């Protein structure tokens, strides 16, 4: 396992890539309305990334081992879809919840972030799942500092999510990120405090918990990408790219439209 440590120049590159990825979500937000198709959102995102940001949509034609090339520029995962949903021509409808996951490459550096959106209004249960999954991600982020362990992040997320009666998807995880889209280490969203890799300043990785309202079991659809809950329960996901700083963490994927940081979060250097 090789975990890359970013120097000041790499950190500057990651800061820019992270901010741009988040700004794509800011740009898309007003378009997420009943009747819009995920293909339309994909096209809007693609053109914004390429023409306005001068960046590259990392998912397009991404083909890790065992996967067919990914055909679109963003991932859009609706309701019981857990992750990696492929945009299509079906309109979103009022009450849907949708995760939009954006990864861009700028000057060779990757920024990766996702948010949940409610289409029109959503049920109380759906809104609660989205809000608590956002909080779960931030409980994980708050663990990040040199000397902490990856297991601390997983435990913080798992104990919070399960404490609210939800389940944590095990098969997909956060990941190191930098010049590569998916680098070492794997960042599990469950685990035990004090276990796994010790964090060091200069590491950059994502925290991106997938939380199900029902059971944690998932299955892959025939398209080779889309992951859904086996019991068809709702699933939510949020993602940030974070940097380990000498004293704590810096979230790299923030921008003007990022949702408010939960009240329990302590400021970090
Ligand atoms: N953005 C996803 C992640 O958070 C990965 C998507 S791979 C793709 O790691 F090919 F589906 F885009
Ligand atoms: Co990611
Ligand atoms: Co992502």
Compute the mean pLDDT over every residue in the chain, rounded to the nearest whole number.
98
Classify residue 227: in a domain, yes or no.
yes
Question: For the chain, which ranges sit under pLDDT 50?
Answer: none
Q: Quick one: pLDDT at residue 102?
A: 99
Q: Quick one: pLDDT at residue 267?
A: 87
C-beta 208 within 6 A of ligand 1: yes
Contact 28/57 with Cβ under 8 angstroms? no
CA distance 72 to 100: 12
Q: Quick one: pLDDT at residue 13?
A: 99
CB under 5 Å of ion ligand 3: residues: 101, 112, 239
CA–centroid distance, residue 102 to ligand 3 (Å): 6
For residue 69, the enclosing domain spans 8-251
> Which residue has a Cα nearest atom 2 of ligand 1?
101
Q: Quick one: pLDDT at residue 269?
A: 65
Task: Give the pLDDT confidence of 113-171 residue by residue, as tens digits.
Answer: 999 999 999 999 999 999 999 999 999 999 999 999 999 999 999 999 999 999 999 99
Task: Give the pLDDT confidence of 23-37 residue by residue, as tens digits.
Answer: 999 999 999 999 999
Classify residue 27: in a domain, yes or no.
yes
CA–centroid distance, residue 112 to ligand 3 (Å): 5
Classify residue 225: in a domain, yes or no.
yes
Classify residue 1: in a domain, yes or no.
no
Q: Which atom of ligand 1 is nearest to the CA of 86?
A: 11
List, edge to edge, every strand of the sheet that includes 183-187.
183-187, 174-176, 204-207, 240-244, 249-251
C-beta 73 within 6 A of ligand 1: no
> Which residue has a Cα nearest atom 3 of ligand 1?
112
Write the CATH number for 69.
Answer: 3.90.230.10
CA–centroid distance, residue 181 to ligand 2 (Å): 8
> Which residue has a Cα nearest atom 10 of ligand 1?
59
Classify residue 264: in a domain, yes or no.
no
Q: Indicate the number of domains in the chain.
A: 1
Classify residue 265: in a domain, yes or no.
no
CB under 5 Å of ion ligand 2: residues: 112, 206
Q: Quick one: pLDDT at residue 1?
A: 87
Classify residue 147: in a domain, yes or no.
yes
Q: Which atom of ligand 1 is nearest to the CA of 74?
A: 12
Classify residue 267: in a domain, yes or no.
no
C-beta 70 within 6 A of ligand 1: yes
């Amino acid at each position: 396992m090789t975990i890359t440590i970013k120097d000041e120049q790499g950190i500057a590159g990651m800061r820019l890539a992270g901010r741009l990825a988040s700004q794509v979500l800011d740009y898309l937000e007003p378009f997420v309305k009943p009747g819009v198709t995920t293909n339309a959102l994909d096209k809007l995102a693609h053109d914004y990334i390429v023409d306005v940001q001068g960046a590259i949509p990392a998912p397009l034609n991404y083909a890790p081992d065992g996967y067919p090339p990914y055909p679109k520029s963003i991932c859009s995962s609706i309701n019981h879809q857990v992750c990696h949903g492929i945009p299509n021509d079906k309109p979103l409808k009022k009450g849907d919840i949708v995760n939009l996951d954006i990864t861009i490459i700028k000057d060779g550096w990757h920024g990766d972030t996702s948010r949940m959106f409610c289409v029109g209004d959503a049920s109380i249960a759906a809104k609660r799942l989205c809000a608590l999954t956002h909080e779960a991600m931030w409980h994980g982020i708050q663990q990040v500092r040199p000397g902490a362990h990856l297991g601390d992040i997983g435990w913080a997320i798992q104990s919070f999510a399960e404490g609210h009666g939800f389940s944590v998807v095990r098969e997909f995880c956060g990941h190191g990120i930098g010049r590569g889209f998916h680098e070492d280490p794997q960042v599990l969203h469950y685990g035990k405090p004090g276990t796994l890799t010790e964090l060091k300043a200069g590491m950059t990785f994502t925290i991106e918990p997938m939380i199900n309202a029902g059971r944690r079991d998932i299955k892959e659809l025939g398209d080779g990408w889309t992951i859904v809950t086996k019991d068809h329960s709702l699933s939510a996901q949020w993602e940030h790219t974070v940097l380990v700083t000498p004293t704590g963490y810096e979230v790299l994927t923030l921008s003007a439209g990022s949702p408010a940081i939960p009240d329990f979060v302590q400021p970090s250097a």
